[in-house]
């Protein structure tokens, strides 16, 4: 599971009132922390981590999983993923624009051959919230930027700073984002877009859209011009635990109107490690393709 560049900080204005300058209002702690995170997002060129996830599926059941990944995000997405659970040992290799823009899968089991799958097709999206195209923090960056755009004047009404904690041996700054008016609204499908594309377009979770539209069978069950239900915002209540050193949201917890929707934990996170492009080929000696 998936799976959020620098934002302009608030401008300090010096207003002259006679011979005395006006008092400049300080930024709120929540905005300061969010600004730090947005700036850090813009500097991420590559990353690796071990990720634990908990996600609620459209049928209401929860699924847990764990994977490790390494990825380069520029100039194109290159990613290698090894899944520890629920299907242990599965390897996924994806290089944007190669292999028909499909992911290469080695299950290390039956059918004992490599298979190529659409990262946003029914098979790869079964029992998970986000496609590998949301890997790392790029999508999270989009969600956070959307919050800024949506709340230019009432930011502090929705973004609360809860202080510092220690999580997994790391000092983190905790942010809570609250929408008491969380609900649903209508969206008209444009062209041949699927739910994953809509997710990245309006920054709401594809899995929640699927849940809100029981007539849909999967992420591709859409028609041009179809009117569907989508959530008004990403979540009713979201908590980010942001690493105090690298400013990355290493824990992300999202609740909707029904309770816990998804949770992600990033362990052993490394920002901008050096990778060779050969590490994103099926012949790399550490892989089993």
Is 8 inside any structural domain? no
For 15-66, how does the pLDDT look when each residue is reduced to its tens digit (9 = 90+)?
Answer: 222 334 444 446 899 999 999 999 999 999 999 999 999 999 988 999 999 9
Is 98 inside any structural domain? yes
Number of domains in the chain: 1
Would you state the structure tokens that stand for residue 234, as one six-digit string? 């990403």
Give the mean model confidence (pLDDT) for residues 217-237: 94
Q: What is the CATH number of the domain that holds 184?
A: 2.50.20.10
pLDDT at 188: 97
Is 285 inside any structural domain? no
Task: Give, in order, the Cα–Cα distances in Å from 261 to each of 135, 186, 201.
Answer: 18, 21, 20
Total length of the chain: 289
Give the mean model confidence (pLDDT) for residues 221-233: 95
pTM of the complete model: 0.86
> Is residue 265 within 8 Å of 248, Cβ to Cβ?
no
Is 44 inside any structural domain? yes
Is 155 inside any structural domain? yes
Give the mean model confidence (pLDDT) for residues 102-109: 92
pLDDT at 7: 31
Inform me whether the pLDDT recorded for 160 exceeds 50: yes
Domain that holds residue 56: 35-280
Average pLDDT, the chain: 88
Would you state the structure tokens that stand for residue 51, as one six-digit string? 């990720």
> Is residue 251 within 8 Å of 167, Cβ to Cβ?
yes
Instruction: Residue 253: name the closest of 238, 267, 243 by CA.
Output: 238
Is 4 inside any structural domain? no
pLDDT at 272: 97
Would you state the structure tokens that stand for residue 259, as one six-digit string? 């309770």
pLDDT at 122: 87
Is 12 inside any structural domain? no
Instruction: Residue 139: name the closest of 249, 10, 213, 9 by CA.
Output: 249
Is 6 inside any structural domain? no
Q: Which are the contacts of 112, defined by CB distance < 8 A and separation ≥ 6?
A: none
């Amino acid at each position: 599971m998936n799976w959020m560049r620098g934002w302009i900080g608030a401008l300090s204005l010096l207003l002259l009132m006679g011979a005395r300058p006006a008092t400049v209002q300080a930024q709120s702690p929540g905005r300061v922390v969010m600004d730090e995170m947005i700036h850090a997002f813009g500097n991420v060129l590559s990353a690796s981590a071990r990720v634990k996830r908990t996600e609620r599926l459209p049928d209401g059941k929860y699924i847990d999983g764990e994977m490790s990944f390494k990825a380069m995000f520029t100039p194109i997405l290159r990613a290698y993923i090894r899944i520890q659970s629920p299907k242990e040992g599965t390897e996924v290799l994806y290089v944007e624009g190669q292999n028909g823009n499909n992911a290469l899968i080695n299950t290390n089991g039956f059918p004992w051959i490599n298979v190529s799958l659409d990262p946003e097709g029914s098979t790869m999206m079964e029992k998970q919230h986000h496609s590998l195209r949301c890997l790392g923090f790029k999508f999270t960056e989009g969600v956070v930027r959307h919050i800024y755009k949506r709340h230019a004047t009432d930011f502090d009404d929705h973004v609360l700073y809860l202080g510092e904690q220690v999580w997994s041996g790391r000092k983190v700054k905790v942010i809570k984002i609250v929408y008491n008016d969380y609900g649903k609204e209508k969206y008209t499908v444009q062209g041949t877009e699927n739910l994953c594309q809509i997710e990245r377009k309006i920054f709401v979770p594809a899995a929640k859209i699927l849940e809100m539209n029981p007539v849909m069978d999967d992420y591709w069950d859409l028609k041009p011009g179809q009117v569907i239900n989508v959530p008004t915002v990403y979540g009713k209540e979201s908590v980010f635990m942001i690493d105090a050193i690298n400013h990355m949201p290493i824990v992300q917890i999202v609740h909707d109107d029904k309770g816990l929707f998804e949770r992600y934990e990033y362990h052993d996170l490394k920002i901008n490690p050096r990778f060779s492009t050969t590490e994103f080929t099926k012949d790399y000696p550490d892989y089993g393709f």
